Structure 1
Amino acid sequence: MNRPVRLPLLDILRLGLLGLSTRRARAALSALGIAIGIATLVVVTGIPASSQRALLAELSALGTNILRAQPQTDAGAKALLPESAAAAAARIGPVTGATAVANTHATVRRSDLADPNDSIGLTVLATRTDLLATIGGSLRSGRFLDSGTENFPTAVLGTRAAVRLGIATIVPGHEPLVTIGKHRFSVIGILRPMPLTPDLETAVLVGWQAAKDTLSFDGHPTVLYVKAVESRIEAVRDVLPATLNPELPGAVQVSRPSDALAAKRATQHSFSALFLGLAGVALLVGGIGVANTMIVSVLERRREIGLRRALGANRGQIRGQFLTESVALAVLGGVVGTALGAGVTTVYALSRSWLPVLPPGALGVGLGCAIVVGAVAGVYPAVRASRLPPTEALSAV
């Protein structure tokens, strides 16, 4: 008995592609349906991902990983934080930065002619030079305290403090002066708004050593800012009181994690089921288009099928030819759709000043869906073609 000739995979692929090349317009329209579905899938995952990254960056800039520790006001002298509190907090494993400020209880005036008892609601804080780096703050004008200025009578204003003192900007070489206590301080910088640290917006910040030398500052911090790894922020909060005051941990009050952190975590777990549903519908429509094209192709190519069967082609080879043609048609649409979706996502993200995000999973799933849709859509036409008797195919011509 003669065994059927096995058709090499490369020949089956050539036959499938030949079927597409002879009916280009119809193939292009069918591939377009798949392309629209895949492009929709990429766009509805890429644009939300880009938006999510931008939102997470904005939330992180607010200081979602910052804890605020201070002594209980009713715990007496034992509640005072040691001057080494920031260094002690920095030794906690997940902590990436720690700094301190201290209320000097001094008054600040725009000039020495103003009422010395009128502090206009501003607080004079002694601060470390690493404050901005720890809390993620930035300057609107001028510069911050550094190793060259922290020991001298220089000050940096919070955004609201600058408004109340009537100082709008800092011109190098012509820094305005304010009176703190009995001493004149040069204002060298103005901070930008910091919504999560509102106490700094109404503060006048002076160097730690300068506060000791001119404002009778005792060296004890009143507020400690601790920056930690976001995923470990709750663990740091639990051990921070005992670290700062081992003898009386209950005398240390630590803020709870920011509400912005909760919002950030919720954003990280959100996705748009509606958009994914729309992408699924688009893929379904594209699959129906491919199936329709392949069924029509079988009807139009009955003579070809009959001749190939008469010349010895078996059913498996006929099925392989039409199934390959269907998958190739879907892959073509998938490649075009992936490129189109990536382009639309990139253009839209850049128009909103976002960093474009193209999830590799979405691109891979897109091409995978195209192959699956093509295979499923081509099963029935391929089986129908393989079951067509040669005599019936030839007699119908």
Structure 2
Amino acid sequence: MTRPPRPARLRPGDVVRVGMVGLRTRPLRAFLSALGIAIGIASMVAVVGISSSSRAELDRTLDTLGTNLLTASAGTTLVGEQAQLPETAEAMVGRIRPVRSVSAVGRVEDTKVYRTGEIPAEQTNGIGVYAARLDLLEAVAGKVSSGTWLNAATSRYPATVLGSAAAQRLGIGRAGPDTRVLIGGEWFTVVGILAPAALAPELDTAALIGWEAAAALGFDGRPTTIYTRSQDSQVQAVSDVLGATANPEAPNEVDVSRPSDALTAKQAAGEAFTRLLLGLGAVALLVGGVGVANTMVISVLERRAEIGLRRSLGATRAQIRAQFLTESLLLAALGGLGGALLGAIGTAGYALLQQWTPVIPLWAVVGGATATLVIGGLAGIYPAVRASRLSPTEALATP
């Protein structure tokens, strides 16, 4: 008795070619199904890429600005009133051994800034007037975007440097000898405009004038905020004694902060938001997987005659399963590749728009590709098993 011939084995290349038949014959359906996967992968890659680019830019900013800046500012008294630092606070802080540099600003109370004398008194634009030490810019790692910073000459005369937001609110785009603002009833020449100060955002809405010029407006000489730069290894030690040194009689009325911590907290908040967006991307990916599964189930129903013919010609159940599972994997892989590409383009475009260096972690791309294959495999298992269980006669009898 002769044994029936063994069915021909399909090579991996043959399995791929057979699996592509359904994609080629129904391109629009394949595209729409792959699009669901692509949206999920693109959102995940873009979220991770934009977040990584933002973190990298923040790290570079901190490296440039330094993390050893500490500030001591006047807080509130026990009864809730505004506290004051003593006039000697700046000099006393400078005696702390690890402190390398000290600078300060002092609020000039009841002094407003106006573009012209025709502006109503109540429209102050939230701009404060501060007396500033000449070394302030170096202490806060600030930069001048237009004009120059105060010097030994201009600090004695009616000259001011505006913060970036203050200049914008006053409608001033450039500093110059013909640009003036009204401060405390006197005309001050705008000699400079600051770039946004990352470590001292309070300066963005300030009009800064010299210590001597501020005295003519009634400034009492008391610093409001003291900026210190310390040895990197001694920042915490300086922070522990900064309040008591600035105001020995009432150290509890001194607010001590490390401005770089605010940027770090911002980064942490961004990471939490990133995790939320990744969750939404995962949901989109799951929806895409359901779309692939739906497409494969419909494909099995529509191709029953093809399945029956292949089974009649000797194809085994395993080969039918392999065909439809491969088709599902190819469909998911196309969506994954397209999504990774879209995500990378979106990340690069957004980063360049923000003037960042684009950073796309390799693990995000590899993880996205792996996720698509897993989704594609899970989505194709049931349709593949269902197709393999069709008997040749039942499948061929289907109209």
Q: Is TM-score (shorter-chain normalized) higher than 0.5?
A: yes
Match of 1:81 in 2: 89
For 1:32 and 1:392, locate their aligned partners in 2 and report how far apart those are by CA, in whole Å.
30
Matched residue SS, 2:313: helix
Residue aligning to 1:203: 208
Question: Are the aligned partners of 1:27 and 1:293 in contact in 2 as well (CA < 8 Å)?
Answer: no
What is residue 269 of structure 1 aligned with on the other side? 272
TM-score by length of 2: 0.60
Q: CA separation of 1:337/1:257 partners in 2, compared to 1, >3 Å: closer, same or farther?
A: same
Distance (Å, rounded) in 1 between the aligned partners of 2:141 and 2:377: 53
1:144-183 matched pairs, under 5 angstroms: 144-145=149-150, 156-159=160-163, 170-171=175-176
* TM-aligned CA deviation for residue 337 of structure 1: 3.2
Aligned residue among 366, 369, 375 for 2:368: 366
Picking from 121, 131, 135, the partner of 1:125 is 131
Match of residue 17 from structure 1: 16
Change (3 A) 1:368 1:395: same
Select which of 281, 285, 291 maps to 1:285: 291
What's the counterpart of residue 139 of structure 1?
144
Structure 1 contact 13–321 (Cα < 8 Å) conserved: no
Summarize the Cα distance change of 1:241–1:101 in structure 2 as closer, same or farther, 3 Å threshold.
Answer: same
1:345-360 paired onto structure 2 within 5 Å: 346-347=348-349, 349=350, 353=354, 355=356, 358=360, 360=362
User: Which one-letter code corresponds to 1:39 in the other structure?
Assistant: A
Q: 1:377 aligns with which of 352, 376, 379?
A: 379
| Per-residue deviation, 1:142 | 0.9
- Which residue number in structure 2 is paired with residue 100 of structure 1? 104
Distance of 2:172 and 2:309 partners within structure 1: 90
> Judging changes above 3 Å, is the alpha-carbon distance between structure 1 residues 5 and 357 closer, same or farther for their aligned structure 2 residues?
same
Q: Deviations over 1:228-274 (max 9, x none)?
A: 9xxxx9x6896253674596672660156789766664343122455
Identity of aligned residues (%): 27
1:161 positional shift: 9.2
1-structure distance, mates of 2:323, 2:172: 80
TM-score by length of 1: 0.60
Provide the C-alpha distance between the structure 2 equivalents of 1:255 and 1:242, rounded to a whole number of angstroms.
Answer: 6
Equivalent position amino acid for 1:254 in 2: D
Q: Distance in 1 between matches of 2:166 and 2:338?
A: 57
Shift in alpha-carbon separation, 1:46–1:327, aligned structure 2, 3 A = closer
C-alpha deviation, 1:69, in angstroms: 0.8
**Helix, strand or coil at the partner of 1:331:** helix
Q: Distance in 2 between matches of 1:72 and 1:381?
A: 69
Alignment of 1:241 with 2:222, yes or no, is no
- Inter-partner Cα distance in structure 2 for 1:289 and 1:162: 59
Q: CA deviation at 1:336?
A: 2.5
> Partner residue of 1:253?
254
Q: Supply the distance in 2 between the matched residues of 1:268 and 1:161 (Cα, whole angstroms).
A: 31
Corresponding position of 2:35: 36
| Structure 1 runs not aligned, ≥5 long | 108-120, 179-184, 212-216
Q: Could you say what the CA RMSD is over the residues aligned between the two structures, in angstroms?
A: 6.1
Number of residue equivalences: 357
1:57-102 Cα offsets, whole Å, 9 max, x none, are 79x89x9x8753146899999883253635848659xxxx864346
CA distance in 2, matches of 1:330, 1:20: 12
Letter in 2 for 1:292: I
Paired residue secondary structure (2:91): coil
Separation in 2, partners of 1:123, 1:360: 49
SS at match of 2:335: helix
Counterpart residue number, 2:325: 323
How many Å apart are 1:125 and its aligned residue?
Answer: 2.9
Change (3 A) 1:331 1:39: closer
Cα distance in 1 for partners of 2:96, 2:206 equals 27
Contact 2:321-2:387 at 8 Å conserved across structures: yes
Following the alignment from structure 1 to structure 2, what is the Cα–Cα distance between the partners of residues 285 and 143? Answer: 61
